[in-house]
Chains A and B, each alone.
Chain A
Amino acid sequence: MNNNHSSNNGLNKISGYPFITIYIIHKLITTLKNNTLLYRFIFTIPVFTISLLSVNIKAYADTLYVGTSTVDITPELPVALDGQMHLRIAREVGTPLEANIAVLESRHKNKLIETTVFVSCDLVVIPSEMLYQVKYEVHKLLPGFNTDKIVMNAIHTHTAPVVRANVYPIPEKDVTQIEDYYSFFAKKIGRAIKQAWDSRKPGNVTWGLSQAKVGYNRRAVYADNSAKMYGKTNIPEFRGIEGYEDQNVNSLFFWDKQGELIAVGIAVACPAQEVEERYEINADYWHPVRLSLRKRFNSRLCVLGWIGAAGDQSPHLMYGKAGEERMRNLRHLSRLDEIARRIVFAVEDTYEVVKTDRHNDIQLIHETKDMSLPMRLITKTEYKASQKEIKKLEAQINADPKAKDRLFRKLNSFEGDVIRRYEQQKIQLAPMYNAKIHVIRIGDIVICTNPFELFTDYSIAIQARSKAVQTFVVQLAGPGTYLPTEKAVKGGHYSAIAQSNLVGPEGGQLLVDQTVELINKLWNVSYNQKVN
């Protein structure tokens, strides 16, 4: 290995321009963070429609370098937990939270061609400001590093610290504050990215596919065509499950030159929220998955947990519980361990099939795009309904101040947001939502991200139209919000109503079309010319 390349920090040929832009945005957001309406307005301006940086060399290289690190991101207790409608304070740690990091670099004749950094976090979502703070830390540690190539996703565990501002009435004392966690997180992740970057060495990669029954479409449909998340299925009115499921488990394996498996990326179309109601820190099913894989392969194995498009999915059983529970009891497994068993079986099954098909000389192309997607508009009826609901909620809180813990999110974030958006629409008739996506080609496969809780149908369409041999769709590489399909909007209920969606089906289809376009562009001839 030529150590000269370690010392150049693997810089892509970037100027200070991108980072200055990021820094300005970071400052702007910090200033505006308590002004939700203005904050959202700023983000509707499609100023990011052109990628901040593009790598001009679009060819594949001779050598793939891989570096990994894993870092504990468990917060200081007590801490408020993100993900339910009510406030929860965790006072114990069920399992540690981790961030798993893998950096990829492709080189040709010792010249850097492309970089990618994957950061998978045991969090509910990745707020933009959090990512900017991480980028800032990375910039400090690795000046000039192309931070636009950092892909950070959340596994959507509902038992991790609150990272969304103004959603819960978090006590101001004796509980870890959001700002403090951001700072803690950014520093830890920044150092871990540097560690991974510094440790990168020539490696090999391959990919494969298996299946596991993990996610269940959680929207039940009834005879009157209405739908309900987690609706009852054992009633005569039940007519079916609203949408599709994606039981594919896409795996990406990385080895070092000594043949040791050092990282695995696993995409499962199911959020990690089996124990979502607990009052403890917990990485949900990814914890036993990691334990099991590390026991089998390598105690320091980096496990990138990716959640496929799964806005309408969860690991909760929708029917047939008696049979499932009986089997789980016969196996003497907790539900988390049962889910992990299925995923690990799929990954190991894939590993056994593909382990000899290792590649070092592959295309690594990382493109980003800032999309402007039309926001879902609030109707006057929805606005009035929210006004009415808010009055009711305020009355409840006034009558019983303790109810604030339970109702604040619904009041401020859920219904309150409808009011703010409706008012905003008066000034801005066609508001847009800025969504950054990453599309990364690694050999014959592609990884494409989106910031949403994207309903599975969209991912199916992306996969069906993609030119890649395998298409890993990674959701929640950003701040979230459900992105429902048209049929879900027709069915209604939580996750497909105005309160739950910043972007609706129109934006969803645009996301599909533009993602597919970007993916397929990477299979154009110009990208396939080998560097001489």
Chain B
Amino acid sequence: MKNLKILIAILIFPSLFVVTNSCKDKKVKKNTTTVVANNSGNLSVGWAQVDITPDKPVLISGQFHARVSEGVMDPVTATVLALESGNGESSEKIFLISCDLVSISDGTRDNAKDNLRSTIREKISRKIPEVSPEKIIINATHTHTAPYCHTASSAKELYGVDLDVMSPAECIQFVSDKISEAAEQAWKNRTLGGISYGLGHAVVGHNRLQVDFSEKSVMYGNTNRKDFSHIEGYEDHSVNLLYTWDNQNNLTGVLINVACPSQVTEGLYQISADFWHDTRVEIRKRLGENIFILPQCSAAGDQSPHIMIGEKAEARMQKMMFPDLKDVGDRTLGLRKDIAVRIADAVTSVLPYMENSINRNPTLKHKLEVVELSRRLIGPEDVIQGNKEAEKWEEEYIQLLKEIQKTPALKEQPKWYTQITIAHTKMRRGKSVKDRYELEKVQSKMPIEVHMLRIGDIVMATNPFEYYLDYGVRIKARSPATQTFLVQLTGSGSYVPTTRSIEGGAYGAVPASTLIGPEGGQELVEKTLEMINDIMEQ
């Protein structure tokens, strides 16, 4: 008998050891003692992620000057979350697609039909006919080191010089092919699951406008100067989180909404997803390699991750956190990794409370409206100023072009195209003021898409802009939802500055940078709130 006990002990203890260790390995494990798996829900969840990095040189979008990619620092990706509530034709079906791109071209600026948003929707609807195009919400993380997806058929069309790259129009086709395949995969992969939502905090975004004593604002620059008065506006360090779970209570993915564009290393000539790459790596290191991560950027037109004060202290901390890194401080990998840790801390500190609040039958409602907003009206004086700028830069452009034509060897120099493409962009920018002036005479309102998505007690509201943070605070403060996820850059972009920012006059608030001003900005606040109230009351 005694020997039998010993034998049982010998057999049981190693088994327990194996079980214990397998739990440790799987960072997120269903809690079988406290949460009972529930398959009775009607929510289906599907995820997919796809690499959208072209294998040839491309134009990199996000700066005045052209940049031809010189390799890949890390891949740019698109992440798809497919949600379906109910079954069959009457079910609510939604696709949330987040792209490591600077923006999602939607035809607002150029009326082009074959823009990125339309192309992606069309291809997805072709692959998944039961999904209507208007149920597909696509946002950009605003990384400044991603392929330029535009309807232009050549670099010359955008920058005035020939560059040996995959054309922006080809990029649209390439990226949309990849994304539509991922959408199909997410749709096929969907299984019964649940969601839980939570709120954390992380200091990621900083207001990037600094005001001097004459009340003039500038974007970035040096705060270490005697006439620096203050930072122009507010910041929002909330991290809105939506976790998804499978029917075994395993975490499958997390949607992360922060009020900061992904542009730490925005000046690179390499393809990169910026801090979202490092964030994905950090979160997967903690929660498992198979976790999907869908980033969204809340209203953050006046925000960036750049350090505005105290860089020395941040650099020291980064150096100690990541001793192997050569570059620390602002605009470095050190900052990207630091941000990744901060966001991951927010995700993991909320997670323990999410495992016990999974909702498998959340209300899932979606509404899309085309909203007409007052344009920021351009006056004759703005046209004169715009023309003046255009003439100045056109002269510069022609001069540089002549020099290059006369001395083709100039093209042998690295980044030979920088100056001439700056001149060309600024020339186009100046000319666009006149175009806008003419357009406003016949069309004083600008139509934009606003999506409203209710998931349980939370709401997601989109806009296509770089929407200044104050507007976001106005919406969040008045929203009846428990949490309000604002998603900016679900379209082409364009800053929407506030009145106080226009008074400061920084880049981002000048007429050439803005299609919509404070009037349209506030109209969008009111319309968004109307739609939120409507969807939350249903």
Q: Which residues of A contact B (CB under 8 A)?
A: 208-213, 217, 233-236, 238-241, 243-245, 247-248, 250, 318-320, 322-324, 326-327, 330-331, 342, 345, 349-350, 353-354, 357, 457, 460-461, 463-465, 468-471, 485, 487, 513
A461 touches B199 (CB 8 A): no
Give the distance to chain B from A325, nearest Cβ to Cβ, in Å.
9
Q: Which residue of B lies closest to A211 (CB)?
A: B203
Q: Which residue of A lies closest to B235 (CB)?
A: A245
A240 touches B473 (CB 8 A): yes
Check B11 for interface membership: any CB of A closer than 8 A. Answer: no
Within the complex, which residue of A244, A318, A323, A331 is in contact with B353, where a contact is CB–CB below 8 Å? A331
B234 touches A353 (CB 8 A): no
Give the distance to chain B from A269, nearest Cβ to Cβ, in Å.
12
With a CB–CB cut-off of 8 A, which chain B residues contact A349? 345
Chain B residues 415 to 441 lying within 8 A of chain A, measured CB to CB, are: none
Give the distance to chain B from A250, nearest Cβ to Cβ, in Å.
8
Tell me which of A320, A463, A468 has the highest count of chain B C-beta atoms within 10 A of its own C-beta.
Answer: A320
Check B513 for interface membership: any CB of A closer than 8 A. Answer: no
A209 touches B317 (CB 8 A): yes
With a CB–CB cut-off of 8 A, which chain A residues contact B313? 209, 250, 469-470
A320 touches B229 (CB 8 A): no
B231 touches A326 (CB 8 A): no
B203 touches A327 (CB 8 A): no
Having A326-B199, A464-B224, A469-B316, one finds 8 other A-B pairs with CB under 8 Å, namely: A209-B313, A247-B203, A247-B237, A323-B199, A350-B317, A357-B320, A464-B223, A469-B313
Given A209-B314, A240-B233, A327-B353, A320 and B320 contact (CB-CB distance below 8 Å): no
Check B226 for interface membership: any CB of A closer than 8 A. Answer: yes
Q: Chain B at the A interface: mostly helix, strand, loop or mixed?
A: mixed
With a CB–CB cut-off of 8 A, which chain A residues contact B229? 457, 461
Q: Which residue of A lies closest to B318 (CB)?
A: A353
Instruction: Kindly list the 8 A-B residue pairs having the minimum CB-CB distance in the complex, ordered from nearest.
Output: A319-B477, A464-B223, A233-B477, A240-B470, A213-B201, A211-B203, A330-B353, A457-B230
With a CB–CB cut-off of 8 A, which chain B residues contact A240? 233-234, 470, 473-474, 498, 500
Q: Which residue of B lies closest to A327 (CB)?
A: B199
B199 touches A243 (CB 8 A): no
Within the complex, which residue of B230, B233, B310 is in contact with A461, where a contact is CB–CB below 8 Å? B230
Give the distance to chain A from B39, nearest Cβ to Cβ, in Å.
24
With a CB–CB cut-off of 8 A, which chain A residues contact B310? 209, 248, 463-464, 470-471
Check B225 for interface membership: any CB of A closer than 8 A. Answer: yes
A243 touches B470 (CB 8 A): no
B477 touches A211 (CB 8 A): no
Q: Which residue of B lies closest to A458 (CB)?
A: B230
B226 touches A465 (CB 8 A): yes
With a CB–CB cut-off of 8 A, which chain B residues contact A331? 353
Q: Which residue of B lies closest to A217 (CB)?
A: B234
Within the complex, which residue of A319, A465, A469 is in contact with B228, where a contact is CB–CB below 8 Å? A465
With a CB–CB cut-off of 8 A, which chain A residues contact B226? 465, 513
B483 touches A213 (CB 8 A): no
Give the distance to chain A from B234, nearest Cβ to Cβ, in Å.
5
With a CB–CB cut-off of 8 A, which chain A residues contact B484? 320
Give the distance to chain A from B520, nearest Cβ to Cβ, in Å.
15
A211 touches B342 (CB 8 A): yes
Within the complex, which residue of A244, A342, A350, A354 is in contact with B231, where a contact is CB–CB below 8 Å? A244
Report how far A235 CA is from B201 CA in the complex, Å: 25
Give the distance to chain B from A61, nearest Cβ to Cβ, in Å.
23
Give the distance to chain A from B23, nearest Cβ to Cβ, in Å.
23
With a CB–CB cut-off of 8 A, which chain A residues contact B202? 211
Q: List 22 A-B contacts (CB under 8 A).
A: A209-B310, A209-B314, A211-B203, A213-B203, A217-B234, A234-B478, A235-B478, A238-B477, A238-B478, A320-B483, A327-B200, A330-B198, A350-B317, A457-B229, A457-B231, A460-B230, A460-B231, A463-B310, A464-B223, A465-B225, A469-B316, A470-B312
Give the distance to chain A from B381, nearest Cβ to Cβ, in Å.
25
Report how far A248 CA is from B320 CA in the complex, Å: 18
B476 touches A463 (CB 8 A): no
Check B526 for interface membership: any CB of A closer than 8 A. Answer: yes
With a CB–CB cut-off of 8 A, which chain A residues contact B320? 208, 353-354, 357
Q: Which residue of A lies closest to B314 (CB)?
A: A209
Q: Which residue of B lies closest to A246 (CB)?
A: B309
Report how far A156 CA is from B146 CA in the complex, Å: 49
With a CB–CB cut-off of 8 A, which chain B residues contact A244? 207, 230-231, 234-235
With a CB–CB cut-off of 8 A, which chain B residues contact A326? 199, 482
B483 touches A323 (CB 8 A): yes
With a CB–CB cut-off of 8 A, which chain A residues contact B535? none
Report how far A154 CA is from B483 CA in the complex, Å: 36
Given A209-B314, A461-B229, A469-B313, A323 and B482 contact (CB-CB distance below 8 Å): yes
